[in-house]
Structure 1
Amino acid sequence: MAPQRILLVASLAGSILSSQQLVNAFVPSSSSKSSSCIGSSRGQTNSQLHAKNHDHLFSQSVYDTIGEGRIAVIPNFLPQDEIIKLRNDATNLHANSKFSTDALASYGSNGKFDPSKDRAVLKLQQWKDQGIGDWTIRERFGNRMKNLREDLAYNLNRPEMLVGDSVTKYGDGSTEISYTRFGPGAFLKRHVDEHHEELKGKAGWSKPTRRSMTWLIYLNDDWDANQHGGCLRCFERRTLPVAKTGARGSGDLQIGWLKATTAGGREQPVFMDAQHSGTNGANSGLCALYIDDASASEGGRQYISKPFHSHPTLYIGGSELLVQNTLMNNKDLAQRFRLIEQPKSAVTDFLQSQESVEERILDVEPMGGTLVLFDSVTLPHAVLPTTTRERWAASGWMHEDQQPVETHPHFNMS
Structure 2
Amino acid sequence: MKIILSLFLLAYVPLLAAALSNNVLSPSDVQKISKGGVAVINNFIPETLIEAMKKDARYLFDHGEFTPDGLTNTAVSKEKQGFTARADRQTFRGGADWNSRVGDYEARSEFGTIMKNLRTELSQKLDRPSLNVDGERRHEMTYNWYEPGAKLGRHLDEHHEETKGVKGWLLGTRRSVTWLVYLNDNWSESEGGALRCYPRNGLSKNPVGCHEGNLQVGWMDEFDPIYLDCFRKSGQSALYRVVNGKRDVLSVRDFDVPSQPIEFQKFLPDLYKDRFEQISTARLDSRFANVNGNSDASIAQASLLADKSEDHFMDVIPKAGTLVLFDSVSLPHLVQEVTAKRQRIAATGWFHEDSQFLLDV
Scaled by the length of structure 2, what TM-score is found? 0.82
Equivalent residue, structure 2, for 1:135: 105
**SS at 2:37 equivalent:** coil
Cα offsets for 1:234-267 (capped at 9, x unmatched): 112224321111112x31000000015xxxxxx2
Corresponding residue SS for 2:312: strand
Aligned AA for 1:269? P
Contact between 1:127 and 1:138, CA under 8 Å: does it hold in 2?
no
> Match of 1:294?
244
Query: In structure 2, what is the equivalent of residue 375 of structure 1?
Result: 327
**1:201: Cα distance to partner?**
1.1
Give, in whole Å, the separation in 2 of the partners of 1:80 and 1:60.
Answer: 26
**Is 2:168 the partner of 1:221?**
no
Say whether residues 1:271 and 2:227 are aligned partners.
Answer: yes
1:208–1:95 Cα change, 3 Å: same
Give the superposition deviation at 1:355.
5.3
Taking the TM superposition and a 5 Å limit, the aligned residue runs for 1:42-81 are 56-81=23-48
Whether the 8 Å CA contact 1:56–1:155 is kept in 2: the answer is: no
Q: Assess if the C-alpha contact under 8 Å between 1:209 and 1:400 holds in 2.
A: yes
Q: What is the alpha-carbon distance in structure 2 between the residues aligned to residue 96 and residue 237 of structure 1? A: 42
Q: What are the within-5 Å matches in structure 2 for residues 385-396 of structure 1?
A: 385-387=337-339, 388-396=341-349
How has the CA–CA distance of structure 1 residues 352 and 116 changed in structure 2, closer, same or farther, with 3 Å as cutoff? closer
Q: Matched residues in 2 for 1:200 and 1:68: separation?
A: 25
Q: Counterpart in 2 of 1:4?
A: none
| Equivalence for 2:292 | none
User: 1:310 maps to which residue?
Assistant: 257
Q: Which residue does 1:253 correspond to in 2?
A: 215
Select between 115-124 and 362-371 the one with higher mean Cα deviation: 115-124
Instruction: State the partner residue of 1:18.
Output: none
Alignment check: 8 A CA contact 2:70 2:152 kept = no
Partner of 1:337: 276
Looking at structure 2, the residues matched to 139 and 351 of structure 1 have their Cα atoms a distance apart, in angstroms, of: 34
Contact preservation (8 Å) 2:282, 2:299: no
| 2:120 alignment partner, one of 150, 153, 176 | 150
2 CA distance for matches of 1:176 and 1:100? 16
1:237/1:359 contact within 8 Å kept: no
Q: 1:342–1:224: structure 2 CA closer, same or farther, 3 Å change rule?
A: same
- 1:235 paired residue number: 198
**Contact 2:22/2:117, CA 8 A, preserved across alignment:** no
Counterpart residue number, 1:285 = 235
Letter in 2 for 1:148: L
Where structure 2 has 5 or more consecutive residues not aligned to the other structure, the ranges are 1-20, 74-79, 284-295
Deviation at 1:311, TM superposition (A): 2.6
Q: Displacement of 1:406 after TM fit?
A: 4.6
Contact 2:183 2:345 survives alignment (8 Å): yes
What is the root-mean-square deviation of aligned Cα atoms in Å?
2.7
> Does the CA-based 8 Å contact 1:241-1:269 persist in structure 2?
yes
Superposed CA offset, 1:344-388 (max 9, x none): 3747937972454x6511111000000000000001100000022
1:256/1:302 CA distance change after superposition, 3 Å: same
TM-score normalised to the size of structure 1?
0.72
Picking from 132, 143, 151, the partner of 1:162 is: 132
User: Using the alignment, how far apart are the partners of 2:126 and 2:180 within structure 1?
Assistant: 18
* Aligned AA (1:301): R
> Per-residue deviation at 1:101?
1.9
The residue number in structure 2 matching 1:384 is 336
CA contact (8 A) 1:231 1:363 kept: yes
Q: Report if aligned partners of 2:169, 2:359 keep a CA contact under 8 Å in 1.
A: no
Q: Residues 223 and 247 of structure 1: is their aligned pair in 2 closer, same or farther, counting only changes over 3 Å?
A: same
Aligned positions, number: 321
Q: Contact 1:212/1:398 (CA < 8 Å) preserved in 2?
A: yes
SS in 1 for 2:120: helix
Paired residue type of 1:120: Q
Report what 1:39 is aligned to. none
Shift of 1:294: 3.0
Indicate if the aligned counterparts of 1:105 and 1:186 stay in contact, CA closer than 8 A: no
The Cα offsets for residues 195-215 of structure 1, whole Å up to 9 and x where unpaired, read as: 000001121011111000100
Identity over aligned residues, as a percent? 39
CA distance in 2, matches of 1:145, 1:124: 19
Q: Classify 1:332/1:368 alpha carbon distance in 2 versus 1 (closer, same or farther; 3 Å).
A: same
Matching residue's letter, 2:183: L
Q: Secondary structure at the match of 2:177?
A: strand
